[in-house]
A and B are shown apart, each in its own frame.
Chain A
């Protein structure tokens, strides 16, 4: 560790988001405003941990919103293997405000598989399950 002061944060155009404050644990809505999940964690590209960072390395970017078992490990510690992560790619994100809005339909996403399973196997089979209350 050197004691030299860190370089200033480069000036960036647009809005500055704090991942912890504006992304983590926010509700994710799909294209039609239907809740999909909550942002349980974020996947960030970039150099691996404990590797010396070479000069001129591009800054890491968010590649995906994560959900699923990662919530459990975030609360109780540990890390699920990469293959077990459920990803919503960052390119699907349309807007970040009070909620995170996607630009795609939530229905076919991997993040919705439990919802689909419960719907098809249980709820839709009970009489009136597809009845519109309004």
Chain B
């Protein structure tokens, strides 16, 4: 019974924790411009994150090594440092975007200007990292994030023409858009689903929670059931935007437009739920990204890290996270639009993907680390296919960004 509860809790937190500011914004933008014609990218992205999150979790559980230690060992210091610089900067951008997202969601709920909420959000993030236990942090934000299911509920209440909605699922460039901007947003969606911080966080979290090889079955269920359901949440955000915003010609530039369909479909109650969900999801992701910046630095340089230790026993780890939060506050204080930061961060994520995923694939095949838990053939084949997709997305990202003027 206790075990069953554990599995259920794990799945629910995986669903609730799946969506972050990148998914919220990108899916709504895509839905309002391209309808459902890019849903296939979300599906590819979700399969990819399942594959690699599972793999990095398995490496961490069996060998006790988190992803960035593995990256340094396998790529050496030079390529490792290049990867660290890229991953860390993107992560910092994502921290900034998530804190901005918390502040914007709180602004929607309270009508208090978001720049006033921003320091509050950052301090709250720090306090949780400083004081709250890892498992409590994960479960509370994950469960509250489940209220984002209001997007799916609102979709049903909007009573769309399901037939025509399903007809849009085929990949096709809408008439008023170019093939370039279509590809650009395909990469943005892919980057939003596969952001590197998720594997850093997932593997380090496995070490934080002391997973052993016997816990692998449970983590596999969490990922295999939770992530696809989380992906469905992402798709319902895009579908809501398709039903309400696309016909009205509204393009998404702020969070208030993201929640507009929920207000129309499910009224005040739905709006209240979705706001709780957005605050929880962005807050949870702010925690995860802040921790990830500490994890990547500490694991590259071999510092002591982890929330399971007293802060004084992982001093450089905690100091680096404090500095990251301060930098995030500084960037937001310049008045830069957090939604814009988000849109850029997901595309840059796509660029850094190959450097992160290749070493995981290599080590997951190394018997010195993995003993009998090395990858099977099917997983390796799928992993290779994804490496090619990731590489193509990574190479195409910057040219497409220039050609389309970042999708405008």
A residues near B (Cβ < 8 Å) are: 24-28, 34-38, 40, 67, 71, 74-75, 97-99, 114-116, 118-119, 122-124, 126, 128-134
**B302 CB, min distance to chain A CBs, angstroms:** 3
6 A-B pairs with the lowest CB-CB distances in the bound complex, closest first = A38-B302, A119-B315, A118-B315, A123-B315, A37-B302, A35-B304
**Inter-chain contact A128/B73, CB cutoff 8 Å:** no
Q: Which residues of A contact B402 (CB under 8 A)?
A: none
Asked whether, in the complex, the Cβ of A123 is within 8 Å of the Cβ of B131, the reply is no
Residue contacts A-B, CB under 8 angstroms, 25 given:
A25-B76, A26-B73, A27-B65, A27-B73, A34-B313, A37-B301, A37-B302, A38-B301, A38-B302, A71-B77, A74-B77, A98-B64, A98-B65, A116-B315, A118-B319, A119-B313, A122-B315, A123-B319, A124-B315, A129-B310, A129-B312, A131-B131, A133-B132, A133-B134, A133-B307
Main secondary structure of the interface of B (DSSP, over half): helix
Which residues from 173 to 227 on chain B have a C-beta closer than 8 Å to any C-beta of chain A? none
Minimum Cβ distance to chain B for residue A78 (Å): 14
Q: Which residue of A lies closest to B319 (CB)?
A: A118
Residue from A99, A115, A118, A132 within 8 A of B310 (CB atoms)? A132
B305–A25 contact, CB under 8 A?
Answer: no
Smallest CB separation, B360 vs chain A (Å)? 15
Q: Are B312 and A28 in contact (CB under 8 A)?
A: no
B80 interface residue per 8 A CB criterion: yes
Is B303 in contact with chain A by the CB < 8 A criterion? Answer: yes
Q: A115-B304, A119-B312, A134-B308 are in contact. Are A25 and B63 (CB under 8 A)?
A: no
Determine if B315 and A28 form an interchain contact, defined as CB atoms under 8 angstroms apart: no
Q: Using a CB-CB cutoff of 8 Å, which residues 57-104 of chain B contact chain A?
A: 63-65, 69, 72-73, 76-78, 80-81
For A67, list chain B residues within 8 Å (CB).
Answer: 302
**How far is it, in angstroms, between the C-alpha of A58 and the C-alpha of B220 when the chains are bound?**
52
> With the chains together, A27 CA to B64 CA distance in Å?
11
Closest Cβ–Cβ distance, residue B315 to chain A (whole Å) = 4
Q: A75: which B residues are within 8 A, CB to CB?
A: 77-78, 81
Interface centre among B63, B76, B304 (most CB of A within 10 A): B304
Which residues of the partner chain A approach B130 to less than 8 Å between Cβ atoms?
126, 128
B373 within 8 A of A: no
Judge if B369 is at the interface, Cβ distance under 8 Å. yes
Q: How far is the CA of A36 from the CA of B132 in the complex (A)?
A: 25
Taking A35-B305, A123-B312 as contacts, is the C-beta distance between A27 and B133 under 8 angstroms?
no
B33 within 8 A of A: no
Is the Cβ of B77 less than 8 Å from the Cβ of A25?
Answer: yes
Residues of the B chain whose Cβ atoms lie less than 8 Å from the Cβ of A40 = 77
Q: Please give me the residue from chain B that is nearest to A40 by CB atom.
A: B77
Residue of A at shortest CB range from B318? A123
Q: Say if the beta carbon of B368 comes within 8 Å of chain A.
A: yes
Inter-chain CA distance A130–B133, complex, in Å, is 14
Q: Looking across the interface, which residue of chain A has its beta carbon closest to that of B127?
A: A128
Q: Which of A71, A99, A126 contacts B311 (CB 8 A)?
A: A126
| List of A residues within 8 angstroms of B65 by Cβ | 27, 98-99
Which of B63, B73, B298 has the most CB atoms of chain A within a 10 A radius of its CB? B73
Q: Assess whether A98 is in contact with B369, with CB atoms less than 8 Å apart.
A: yes
In the complex, residue of chain A having the shortest beta-carbon distance to the beta carbon of B75: A25
- Assembly CA distance A40 to B76 (angstroms): 10
Chain A: minimal CB distance from B56 (Å) = 15
* CB neighbours of B298 from chain A (8 A): 35
* B398 CB, nearest partner CB in chain A, Å: 25
